[in-house]
Structure 1
Amino acid sequence: MRPIPLPCCLAILAAFGAAAPAQADTVLDNANGYTLNSRNELLRFTSLAFDDEGRILAVGSAAQTRAKAPKARHIDLQGKTVLPGLIDAHGHVFGLGEMLTQLDLAGSATLADALKAATDYARANPAHAWLRGRGWNQEIWKLGRFPTAAELDGAVADRPIWLERVDGHAGWANTRAMQLAGITRDTPDPAGGKIVRDADGNATGVLIDAAQDLVAKVLPKQSEAQARVVLDRALQQIAQMGLTSVHDAGVNVGQDALYRSYADQGKLTARVYGMIGDVGADFDQLSARGPLKTYASDLYALRAVKLYSDGALGSRGAALIAPYSDEPKSLGLLFRQNADIHAMMDKAMRGGYQVNVHAIGDAGNRQILDGYQQLIARYKSKGGAALRHRVEHAQVVAPSDIARFKTIGIVPSMQPTHATSDMNMAEQRVGPERIKGAYAWRTFLKQGSRIACGSDFPVESSNPFFGIHAAVTRQDAAGRPAAGWYANEAMTLKEALRCFTLDAAWAGHQEKTTGSLEKGKWADFIVVDQDLFTMPAADIHKVGVLQTWVAGRQVFKKE
C-alpha cells in the first residue's frame, strides 16, 4: 500500500492503511541501516525490502533485495540512518494523551512557576468546571516539603484544581477540590495511601497513592469523545518519537474497546501490548474469553495484567525494608498485605495471563518476588515461567534479591530515565548501601537477565532516545554528572538498543514478529537524522526522528 503524503512535520496518518491502494513490493535504497538479530549480532544493511502487507522480504545489500523484489518501487534514503522501530515496554498511553490536553507542569523549575502556570491555565480555560494537570516535582523546586492547598488557592480558588505529581503517585489539590472530595482533618488515611497533614493534623492538600482515590471519585467522568481525542494526541506523539510499539500498563474496558475500534478502522498507528489494570470487574469482563494474544495483524494484544505493590520513591511511597534514610520514621507504603497481593497474582495466573507488578522499593520487590516464587510452579500448566512474568520498575532491589529475578525467571522491566531523573534525591532516600541495588542495569545484565526498557510516560518523556542516552551515559541532558551517576551500572549502546527493541518485544511475547529487521517480521522501522553508532554518546538525546513506519506504512514524516 502506498504511504499517504503528510502535510506538515507533525502530521500523523489517521488511517494509515485503510483506504490506500494496493501496490507492489517496496525497497529502501541507500540506507545506513542497523539491526540486531536473534543471535544478538549487530548487522549493517543498505537496503530493505518489504511486501504490500508490510512483511520484510529481505535485508542486506541492494543486490539481495533486488533478487527478492525485482518489480518493487524504490525509495532512496540518501544515506540516512534506519533502525528497527523502537518499543516502549512501559507507558500509559491515555495518561500521555491526557497530559497533552491538560496543564503540563513538567517544565516548572520552582513553585512560583507552577502557580503562575496554574493561574494562566485557569484564565485560558474559563469553561472547565475542574482544572487538571500533571508533572510537578517538589524535589526540583528544592522546597524540602510538599506544596499546599493554601498556596494553590493563591492561583485558583474559585474552581477545583487537581494536579498529579510527575510520577502519578501523589496529587495536589486546592481547598475547593478537597471540599468536594469531603476531605477534613477527620478523614482517615486509606489503606495504601496517606493524607499529608500539618503539625495540627489538618490535611495540607497533597494526597499520596491510594489517598488520591478520594479526589478521583469526584472527578468528572471522561466521555468516549474525550477519550478519542486523548488517544489521538497520544498516538500522534508516539509516532513522532519513533515508537512503533508500546506496552500500555493499565487498560480498562473502555480503553480496550477503543483500541480494537482503532485497529479495525486502520487508525492504530502503533502496536499496543495491553495490560489489564488490576483483577477487579474490568478483568472479569475482559478475561471472559481468556488472553487476547493478537488482534488485527498484531496491532493489539491483551494478554497481561498490571498490579501495584507500592508507591514511588519521590513521594516516599516506595516500600522499604528499613526506614527511609531521610525520613527515619517512614517505611513507605505497601499497598496490600502479602496474602492479598499474592491472591491477586494468583487470580491472573490462573487465567493464563502474564503478571506485571509495579514494585519500586526493596520491600515491594521482595513481596512480589516471594509471590512469584510460590505461584509460578503452581501454574506450570498455564504457562508458568514461560509467560515471562515481570516486575515493572525493579527500581530499588535488595542486592541479595537481584539474583532471584534470574533464578525464578522474572523479567526486570526498567526505565533508564528514572535513574537520571531520580539521582537528585535517590541516594538521600535510601543511603549509600541500598543505592548499590538501585537502577542496577549492569548487575541484571551480567547475570543474564533480559531488561525490557521503557519510559513510564508521561512520568518521563516518551522520547526513547532520552532513555538510550541515559542507559549509556548515566547522565542527564546537560551532561551531569561528568563521570556518570554510578557509571558502573551503565549499558553499552548495543545493549541499550536491544532493550528498546528485541528484549522489549520478547517481554511482550512478540520477538518473532517485531523488535528487529529480519525476513518475515513486520516492517516496523524508523529513519533518524544521526548515526547512533558514530556520534558522541553524550549527544544521543538529540537524535531526531524523520520518518516512522509500521507494517510498511508511513505513519509519521517530518517535513
Structure 2
Amino acid sequence: MHSWRWAALLVLSLLVGLFAVVSQKRQPKQHNPDLEHLIRSLGDEYLICADGTSQPSGSRWTQYLGIWRHMRPLLSQKPKASHIYTLATSQPESPGEVECLFVKSGRVLSSGTRLALGPLCDSFQGCMTHEVPYGHTLLPAFTDAHGHLLDLGQSLLSVDLTGAESLSECRERLESFLASHPDLDKSAWIEGGGWDHTRWIDWPNKARFPTAQDMIENSVSLRERKISLKRIDFHALWLSPAALQTVMADDKIPPGVEVIPGGSIVLDSEGRPSGVLVDHAMRFALEVIPRWTNEDRKKFLKQAVDLLLSEGITGVGDAAASIDDIVFYADTIRAGTDLGVRTYAFLSCESSQIVDDAECFEALVSRLAASGSGPLLLNEDAASDFTLRTVKLFADGALGSWGAALFLPYSDRPTERGSLTMNESAIPAIVNYWADKGYQIATHAIGDRANALVLDAYEEVLLRLTSQGEHDLRARIEHAQILRSQDFARFKSPTSQLMRTQGPLSIIASMQPSQYASDEHYLPSRLGPDRLANAFPWRSLLGSGSHVLFGSDFPVESPSVLAGIRAATTRTSPTADVVPETLTRLEALRAYTSAPPFGQFQEKVLGSLESEKWADWILTFGDILDDRQDLQDIRVVATVKRGKPAWLEGKGRLSSV
C-alpha cells in the first residue's frame, strides 16, 4: 500500500481513538441493565469476583493495521479490568486486592481466590457467583466522618446560594425561590445558606460583611420577607430587614454592643445591627425562627440519605445533633425503621440552645427515658443505624467569618484574633464533665489558639483517666485547620508522660479536604505567609502517626468523597520552601473508609471488607487508585449496605434500605 494511504489510515485511526476517549469522558450517567441485574440479584449468600487483569482497549481492526502502538497514549485513561479492594487494616500500605469476596447474611465471610471460595459458595443452596463488571472497581463504602445530616436535607429543600459569584446572583436565586413557591405564606420564614462574600465579584471589600439592606436592594419581592441565610461555614447568619426587625422586637439583642461572649453582632456606622450575626450571636435569631417538626425531619432525612447513597456513603458522623434530633433518630429506630445511613450522632447542647452542660445532659436523659432509651447507645457492632456516645463542643468559630481563635491577629484584620466560643478557663472542666458521663468528646477547633487549648484540656483528662486505669477515650478535634508546629506531635502523644501511648489514647484529627479547596483563595490574605505552612496539615499529622479521619462537613461542602480525595491529592505547596501536605490516593481513600470507624469505636465491624465485617461496599466506574485515571471521570454506580442493594445509578434508592 502506498505510504500516503498508510498515513491516511493512521490519521483516521487517531481521530477515531480521540473521539472514543472524548465520548467516554462525556458519557452521561445512564441506566445499565447488566449492572442492575447484578445488584438486584444479590441474595443472602453470594460470591463476587473480579478479573484483576488489564485487557487491550484498542479494537481488533486498529491492532490489525499495526497502529495500536500509536493509539495507546490516547486510550491509556480508559478503565481497564475490574478490581476488588478490601482495604484490609492489616495492610496499610496496600489496598488489599483480592479476587473474590464471599458474603453471607450481610457480612463478609471470607475473601480469596475463585478456586478457594467457589466450593464454599456451592455449599449454600441458592448462592450465586457474580462478576464485577469490566472497567469497574468494588471497594468499601465511604464514611463521612463529619457532616450534618438533617441540615443537608434542609439545604436541598431551601434557598441554595452555594457557588453564587455575586451579590446580585444571591438576590436572583432568592427571587427565583419565591417565584417557584407562589403559595408560600408572606409571614413564613425563608431559610437557606451557602453564601460566601469573599467570592462575590461585585463585592470589592472582602473584609466587610453584607448588610440586611444589601440583601433586598432594588427587589420588590424580597422587601417584606423574613429571610435567614447561613454563611457557607454555618458560623454567620445574614438577615433581611424584615427578619432583623422581628429578631430585634424581642429586645434580645443588646443595643450598641458588638462583641458578646463567643460571638459578635456586626454593627453599621451608627452602631445599630447591620444584619449579620456571628457564632453565639446567631442565637438571638435562632430563638425566634420556628423550630423543625418531626415531619420536617422525615423530609430532610429522606433527601439527605438519597444524596449520600448516590455518593457511595453509607455512614456519617452527624456532627451537631440537637436533643430533638436525637430523640427523632431513637424513636425511628425503635419503630423498626432504618435511618438509611449509619448515623453516629454527636450531641450538641448548642444546637439544642441549652447553655449549661449539666442542664443539657439532664434534658437528654429525660427525653430519651420517655422514649425508652438511655443516654448512651453504644452500638459497637453497628447492627443498628444509630449510635449515640459522643458530645460536640465548640471552641471557636470559622476562618471565613474571622471567628477562628488565633494566637496572632488576622493578616487582613490586624486588630482581631477571632474568638473563643467557650470560656478558656472552663474548657478542662467541661471536657472532664462529659468524660465522666462516659461520652467521647469531639471539639470544633479551627484556629491555632483554639486547638492548643483543646489539646491542653484533653491532656488533662487523658492523664486522669490513665491513672484510673481507663484508656479508651478517643477524643477528637473536629477540623484542626490551623496548628502550631509544636502541636502536631501532641495528637499522637499529648504529653511526655504519655509517650508510650498507642492507639486509643492518642487524639483523633477529623479533617475536611474539600474545605481547603474552598478556602484556598483567601487563606494567604487571612493568615499571611508564615501561618500557611501549618494550615490544613493532613500530611504532617498522618506522618506523625496520628489518626486522621476525613469528612466533608456537608452541607458546608458537597458530600462528594471523590471531590475530597481530589482535594487531598492535588494540593500544591503555597511556597517553594514549604513541604506540601498532599496525600496519596490510597492514604486519602483510607481516610474515608477504614479510618472513620476507629473514631466511632466500630473498626471491628466497619471500614474494610474483611471477615466478619459488614458488607458495605460500592462499585465505581473506573479505579480510584489508578493515578492515570482522572478522578473527575470516576463515579459511583452502585451502593450496597449490609450486603443488600441500597442505590443504583439510573434507578436511585432501592427498597432494601
Same fold at TM > 0.5 = yes
1:299 counterpart residue number:
385
Q: 2:321 aligns with which of 248, 251, 256?
A: 251
Distance 2:508 2:455 in 1: 11
1:5 counterpart residue number:
none
Is the aligned partner of 1:78 residue 2:163?
Answer: no
Could you say if the C-alpha distance between residues 545 and 23 of structure 1 is closer, same or farther in structure 2, counting changes exceeding 3 Å? closer
SS state at 2:242 partner: helix
1:464 counterpart residue number:
561
Distance 1:413 1:484 in 2: 27
- For residues 128-155 of structure 1, give each alpha carbon's deviation from its aligned partner in whole angstroms, at most 9, with x where no partner exists: 4111111000111152221111111234
Residue identity matched to 2:239: A
Could you say if the C-alpha distance between residues 266 and 536 of structure 1 is closer, same or farther in structure 2, counting changes exceeding 3 Å? farther
Q: 1:147 aligns with which of 210, 220, 225?
A: 210
2:37 counterpart residue number:
none
Distance 2:581 2:362 in 1: 41
Distance 1:253 1:36 in 2: 36
Judge which range, 397-406 or 483-492, deviates more.
483-492
Could you say if the C-alpha distance between residues 46 and 282 of structure 1 is closer, same or farther in structure 2, counting changes exceeding 3 Å? farther
Distance 1:185 1:174 in 2: 18
Q: CA deviation at 1:552?
A: 0.6
- For residues 212-253 of structure 1, give each alpha carbon's deviation from its aligned partner in whole angstroms, at most 9, with x where no partner exists: 111111101211111110111111111111011111111222
Runs of 5+ in structure 1 lacking a partner?
1-7, 10-19, 476-480
Q: 2:616 aligns with which of 520, 524, 528?
A: 524
TM-score in terms of structure 1 length: 0.90
Is the aligned partner of 1:284 residue 2:354?
Answer: no
- For residues 5-57 of structure 1, give each alpha carbon's deviation from its aligned partner in whole angstroms, at most 9, with x where no partner exists: xxx97xxxxxxxxxx99954122233511122122132112322211x20111
2:68 counterpart residue number:
none
Distance 1:99 1:24 in 2: 36
Size of the alignment, in residue pairs? 536
Residue identity matched to 1:140: R
Q: 2:585 aligns with which of 472, 493, 503?
A: 493
Residue identity matched to 2:346: M
2:167 counterpart residue number:
111
Q: CA deviation at 1:543?
A: 2.2
SS state at 1:293 partner: coil
Q: CA deviation at 1:280?
A: 5.3
CA contact (8 A) 2:532 2:574 kept: no
Q: CA deviation at 1:500?
A: 0.8
Distance 2:159 2:578 in 1: 34
Is the aligned partner of 1:60 residue 2:112?
Answer: yes
Judge which range, 417-426 or 281-290, deviates more.
281-290
2:5 counterpart residue number:
none
Q: CA deviation at 1:452?
A: 0.7
Q: CA deviation at 1:267?
A: 3.1
Distance 2:576 2:289 in 1: 42
| Same amino acid, percent of matched pairs | 34
Is the aligned partner of 1:395 residue 2:481?
Answer: yes
Q: Describe how 1:156-175 pairs up with structure 2 within 5 A.
A: 156-175=222-241
1:121 counterpart residue number:
177
Residue identity matched to 2:524: E
Distance 2:178 2:435 in 1: 46
Judge which range, 284-293 or 170-179, deviates more.
284-293
CA contact (8 A) 1:277 1:283 kept: no
- For residues 53-110 of structure 1, give each alpha carbon's deviation from its aligned partner in whole angstroms, at most 9, with x where no partner exists: 2011122322233233223123333232111011111111011111011111102111
Distance 1:341 1:233 in 2: 36
Could you say if the C-alpha distance between residues 138 and 266 of structure 1 is closer, same or farther in structure 2, counting changes exceeding 3 Å? same
Q: CA deviation at 1:298?
A: 4.1
Distance 1:466 1:73 in 2: 35
Distance 2:639 2:332 in 1: 18
- For residues 464-483 of structure 1, give each alpha carbon's deviation from its aligned partner in whole angstroms, at most 9, with x where no partner exists: 111111111117xxxxx999
Is the aligned partner of 1:29 residue 2:49?
Answer: yes
Residue identity matched to 2:439: Y
Q: 1:38 aligns with which of 85, 89, 97?
A: 89
Residue identity matched to 1:114: C
Q: CA deviation at 1:123?
A: 2.5
Distance 1:84 1:483 in 2: 36
Distance 2:563 2:284 in 1: 34
Could you say if the C-alpha distance between residues 418 and 436 of structure 1 is closer, same or farther in structure 2, counting changes exceeding 3 Å? same
Q: 1:433 aligns with which of 522, 530, 534?
A: 530
Q: 1:540 aligns with which of 592, 615, 631?
A: 631
Distance 2:95 2:285 in 1: 50
SS state at 1:100 partner: helix
CA contact (8 A) 1:57 1:65 kept: no
CA contact (8 A) 2:616 2:643 kept: yes
Residue identity matched to 1:301: T
Distance 1:469 1:21 in 2: 33
Distance 2:313 2:575 in 1: 29
Q: CA deviation at 1:383?
A: 7.4
Could you say if the C-alpha distance between residues 173 and 383 of structure 1 is closer, same or farther in structure 2, counting changes exceeding 3 Å? farther
2:14 counterpart residue number:
none
CA contact (8 A) 1:352 1:382 kept: no
Could you say if the C-alpha distance between residues 526 and 382 of structure 1 is closer, same or farther in structure 2, counting changes exceeding 3 Å? farther
Is the aligned partner of 1:377 residue 2:430?
Answer: no
CA contact (8 A) 1:57 1:68 kept: no
Distance 2:130 2:576 in 1: 40
1:550 counterpart residue number:
641
Moved over 6 A (4+): 481-487
Q: CA RMSD in A?
A: 2.5
TM-score in terms of structure 2 length: 0.77
CA contact (8 A) 1:276 1:282 kept: no
Residue identity matched to 2:131: D
Distance 1:526 1:297 in 2: 19
Judge which range, 270-279 or 23-32, deviates more.
23-32
Distance 1:68 1:473 in 2: 43
Distance 1:405 1:224 in 2: 39
Could you say if the C-alpha distance between residues 184 and 303 of structure 1 is closer, same or farther in structure 2, counting changes exceeding 3 Å? closer
CA contact (8 A) 2:258 2:266 kept: no
Runs of 5+ in structure 2 lacking a partner?
1-29, 32-39, 51-81, 350-356, 367-373, 495-505, 651-657
- For residues 163-215 of structure 1, give each alpha carbon's deviation from its aligned partner in whole angstroms, at most 9, with x where no partner exists: 10000001111111111111585355431111112232222211111111111
Judge which range, 64-73 or 397-406, deviates more.
64-73
SS state at 1:75 partner: strand
CA contact (8 A) 1:247 1:274 kept: yes
CA contact (8 A) 2:338 2:384 kept: no
Q: CA deviation at 1:284?
A: 2.8
CA contact (8 A) 1:523 1:549 kept: yes
Distance 1:92 1:328 in 2: 33
- For residues 284-307 of structure 1, give each alpha carbon's deviation from its aligned partner in whole angstroms, at most 9, with x where no partner exists: 344574532108714221111110
Residue identity matched to 2:598: W
Q: Describe how 1:153-232 pairs up with structure 2 within 5 A.
A: 153-154=216-217, 155=219, 156-182=222-248, 183=253, 185-186=255-256, 189-232=259-302
Distance 1:212 1:466 in 2: 30
- For residues 312-346 of structure 1, give each alpha carbon's deviation from its aligned partner in whole angstroms, at most 9, with x where no partner exists: 00110000011111100001011122222322211
CA contact (8 A) 1:160 1:176 kept: yes
CA contact (8 A) 2:512 2:551 kept: yes
Distance 2:530 2:282 in 1: 32
- For residues 360-386 of structure 1, give each alpha carbon's deviation from its aligned partner in whole angstroms, at most 9, with x where no partner exists: 001110111111111222233787552
Distance 1:179 1:268 in 2: 39
Is the aligned partner of 1:137 residue 2:234?
Answer: no
- For residues 455-511 of structure 1, give each alpha carbon's deviation from its aligned partner in whole angstroms, at most 9, with x where no partner exists: 111111101111111111117xxxxx9999967111111111111111111111111
Judge which range, 371-380 or 347-356, deviates more.
371-380
CA contact (8 A) 1:411 1:449 kept: yes
Q: CA deviation at 1:519?
A: 0.9
